Amino acid sequence: MHVDARAAFPGLNLAIIAAITPPDVEAGILDESVEAIDFDCDTDLVGITGMTNMAPVGYHIEDEYRRRGKKVVMGGVHVTGCADEAHQHCEAVIAGEAEPVWSHVIRDFQQGQLQPRYRPHQLHDMTGYIVPHRDLLKQRFYLFPSTVETGRGCPFDCEFCSVSRTAGRGYRFRPT
């Protein structure tokens, strides 16, 4: 437990995406909740995640990167439901889980053919789950740096909740 932490938990989504990024592509993670953003950093493609409460800030960050000529793609729970809104701020929206489509996004980007939408047709079955690249997270900035994802989805469908709609109406467990 880190007493000088700036946030409670690190998100694992970008660490998972880094782990499924083709090996010839270098990946890095910047968490705006714990560190300053370097808009002039040397990157070819920026991928942004966020929940609904973070979307306005996420869009602002995307606009700043794009003003500097960077290509931006966005994914996560908010844009999975609001892809048209998000697309006003980025080149491509990944509406759903990254695992089935991320290698296609990278390939299309490398060929200069990014599509406006990537919407996986099925949920990731959680077999062959790749260990997130936690080494890319600044672990000292989190109170509890060692989170573990055990499963996705929910069999209930509470009307106020997005989980069963975005992650499926049932449990998918990660193999022990």
Instruction: Please report whether residue 52 would count as binding ligand B12 according to CB under 6 A.
Output: yes
Q: Which stretch binds ligand B12 (CB under 6 A): 21-29, 50-58, 63-71, 107-115?
A: 50-58
Strands of 117-118's sheet in order across: 45-48, 71-75, 92-94, 117-118
Could you give the CA distance from residue 126 to residue 124 in angstroms, rounded to a whole number? 6
The site for ligand SF4, by CB under 6 A, has a size of: 7
Q: Is 52 in the site for ligand SF4 (CB under 6 A)?
A: no
Among ligand B12, ligand SF4, none, the one that 157 touches (CB under a kind-dependent 5 to 8 A) is ligand SF4
Binding-site partner at residue 164 among ligand B12, ligand SF4, none, CB < 5 to 8 Å by type: ligand SF4
As a whole number of angstroms, the distance between CA 1 and CA 145 comes to: 8
Q: Is 100 in the site for ligand B12 (CB under 6 A)?
A: no
Residue 75: phi and psi, rounded to 5, are: -140, -175
Q: Does 167 bind ligand B12 (CB under 6 A)?
A: yes
State the residue number with the nearest CB to ligand B12. 75
Question: Residue 66 half-sphere exposure, CB side, CA atoms within 13 Å?
Answer: 17
Q: Does 21 bind ligand B12 (CB under 6 A)?
A: no
CB 135 within 8 A of CB 14: no
Do residues 34 and 142 touch, judged by C-beta distance below 8 A? yes
State in angstroms the smallest separation of the CB of 19 from ligand SF4. 25
Q: Min. distance of Cβ 39 from ligand SF4 in angstroms? A: 35
- Return the biggest CA–CA distance within the chain: 45
163 near ligand SF4, judged by CB under 6 A = yes
**Contact footprint for ligand SF4 (CB under 6 A):** 154, 156-158, 161, 163-164
Judged by the rule CB under 6 A, the positions of this chain that interact with ligand B12 are 8-13, 16-17, 33, 47-49, 51-54, 73-78, 94, 97-99, 102, 149, 161-163, 167
